[in-house]
Amino acid sequence: MIRKICIYSMLTLMLVAGAGCTNMSNTQQGVASGAVIGGLGGAGIAAISGGSPGWGALAGAGAGALVGGIVGNQQDNYYRY
């Protein structure tokens, strides 16, 4: 029961946080979405492989934010108006 509450709370938080990305640059959106996607992926991979989901989420969020920021910055530089 507690696990379901945590999962639904995290999903709700991600949806609310995603709605606030409307006035952000591509770099900022890339960092935010990369961190969320990387954190979820890292936690999932760590849980499946028997590691610590917390450390997996932390490592995944850091890597996702870095890659998302780089890609978003490239988009900002390429699509200048």
Query: For residue 81, what pLDDT is reported?
Result: 63
The answer to whether the beta carbons of residues 35 and 65 sit under 8 Å apart is yes
CB within 8 Å of 47: residues ≥ 6 apart: 53, 56
| Residue 31 vs residue 79, higher pLDDT | 31
Question: Does this model's pTM top 0.85?
Answer: no
pLDDT tens digits for range 6-47 = 777 777 777 776 666 667 888 888 998 999 999 989 998 998
| Residue 65 pLDDT class (50, 70, 90 cuts) | very high
Domain ranges of the chain: 24-81
Q: What is the largest CA-CA distance in the chain?
A: 50
